[in-house]
Amino acid sequence: MTYSVVYSSKTGNTRMLAEAIRSFLPNENCTYMGEPSSQALVADRIYVGFWTDKGTCDPETAAFLSELTTQEVFLFGTAGFGGSAEYFEKILAEVKQKLGPQVRLIGTYMCQGKMPQGVRRRYEAMEESPRRQMLLDNFDRALSHPDEADLQHLKDALQMMNR
Ligand SMILES: Cc1cc2nc3c(=O)[nH]c(=O)nc-3n(C[C@H](O)[C@H](O)[C@H](O)COP(=O)(O)O)c2cc1C
């Protein structure tokens, strides 16, 4: 079975997941690895990675997902907020809506991804409040992600699926 790995990544978090997927799968079956492109469409299975933009996938990924027809798809992504499976499920529910009826979703994986320092400065400038503190705490928690454990969990998800 052939596969391709397609990912959109502005600051490198989602690229880390894409590279982990690529390193985990057999070399000889890979037909494409890189940014969203119609070249990726010929594979039997497509691993599609996105960064979270306003609660759903980034626009480049959304455009790519709309081109899928009957392929098998594994969706993976990173988000600045984390720590809750429900939050990731909500994002994934939005992303899944972009898949056509014939596309077969075979698995998903999401983890937290660090954000640029400018975001923290924006939070710091806010008036003191529990919300501001929550945003700062989340920002700091995100700094180490994706970490080794995230990559291991991703590999576990792939292994389960390929069993
Ligand atoms: C314009 C913009 C919008 C974002 N919107 C969200 C969001 O709605 N929810 C969220 O959890 N993270 C959001 N983020 C954070 C990114 O999704 C997160 O840092 C991600 O890991 C970036 O992935 P990348 O390094 O592959 O680009 C946003 C980031 C940017 C720059």
**11 CB less than 6 Å from ligand 1?**
yes
Two tokens at 130? 């529990």
Residue-level pLDDT at 83: 77
Residue-level pLDDT at 107: 96
Strand locations in the chain, DSSP E? 3-7, 30-34, 45-53, 56-57, 72-79, 104-112
Residue-level pLDDT at 160: 86
Residue-level pLDDT at 161: 83
Two tokens at 84? 């809750």
Atom of ligand 1 nearest to the CA of 114: 19
Compute the C-alpha angle 58/92/30, nearest 5°.
70
Mean pLDDT value of segment 91-109: 97
Atom of ligand 1 nearest to the CA of 14: 26
List the domain boundaries for the chain.
Answer: 3-114+146-162
Buried-exposed string 32-65: b where 16+ CB fall within 10 A, e elsewhere: bbeebeeebbebebbbbbbbbbeebbbebbbebb
In whole numbers, what is the pLDDT of the chain averaged over residues? 96
**52 CB less than 6 Å from ligand 1?**
yes
Residue-level pLDDT at 70: 94
Residue-level pLDDT at 82: 87
Contact by Cβ (8 Å): 40, 6: yes
Mean pLDDT value of segment 103-129: 97
Tens digit of pLDDT for each residue in 46-76? 999 999 999 999 999 999 999 999 999 999 9
By the 10 Å C-beta count (0-12 exposed, 13-18 middle, 19+ buried), 129 is classed as exposed
**83 CB less than 6 Å from ligand 1?**
no
Q: Which superfamily, per CATH, for 3-114+146-162?
A: Flavodoxin domain (3.40.50.360)
**80 CB less than 6 Å from ligand 1?**
yes
Statement: residue 163 has pLDDT above 80: no
CA of residue 53 to ligand 1 center, whole Å: 5
